[in-house]
């Protein structure tokens, strides 16, 4: 998590935009990293988690990332949670929680992470880890 937080803060310092960073770990080893590339790529699907999922899939040569953990500086949005589940990831750890950030980061505000947990195969979501370190990046959504 500390690495992801540092990358998010660095992205903010360098570009003036909100930095969002994610990583995929398998057996404690990082196999994929990503930072938000939405504006850079003109692609609304290039969230940090999606970029990390792609890199991890290429690393293992498969879309099956069962046994992996995703770490993000921001609670994954609905799209990223769905992609995580399609990849077989059943554990997510994140810093800033939906309740404490600008609404623009979630397109279905009535759909919570608890709804994702209840809707399918069980998975674990641990939020608020190092939240105070990143809240200034996402609280207002002013990037």
pTM attached to this predicted model: 0.90
Residue 39 is predicted with a pLDDT of 83
**Sign of the four-CA dihedral 82, 83, 84, 85:** positive
Residue 17 is predicted with a pLDDT of 58
Residue 88 is predicted with a pLDDT of 97
- Which residue ranges of the chain lie beneath pLDDT 50? none
Q: How far apart are CA 135 and CA 128, in angstroms?
A: 10
Residues recognised as catalytic? 49
Residue listed under structure tokens 């609304």: 44
Distances (CA, A) of 70 to 61, 92, 127, 131: 17, 5, 12, 16
Q: How far apart are CA 37 and CA 22, in angstroms?
A: 12
CATH C-level class of 1-134 = alpha beta
Q: How far apart are CA 122 and CA 117, in angstroms?
A: 6
Tokens of 89: 């990831």
Residue 4 is predicted with a pLDDT of 75
């Amino acid at each position: 998590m500390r690495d992801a937080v540092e990358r998010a803060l660095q992205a903010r310092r360098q570009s003036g935009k909100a930095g969002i960073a994610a990583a995929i770990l398998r057996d404690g080893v990082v196999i994929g990293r990503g930072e938000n590339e939405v504006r850079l790529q003109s692609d609304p699907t290039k969230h940090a988690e999606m970029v990390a999922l792609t890199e991890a899939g290429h690393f293992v040569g498969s879309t099956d990332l069962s046994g992996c953990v995703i770490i993000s500086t921001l609670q994954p949005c609905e799209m990223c949670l769905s992609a995580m589940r399609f990849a077989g990831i059943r554990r997510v750890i994140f810093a800033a929680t939906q309740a404490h950030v600008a609404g623009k980061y979630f397109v279905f505000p009535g759909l919570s992470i608890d709804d994702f947990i209840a809707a399918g195969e069980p998975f674990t979501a641990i939020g608020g880890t190092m939240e105070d370190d990143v809240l200034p990046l996402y609280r207002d959504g002013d990037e």
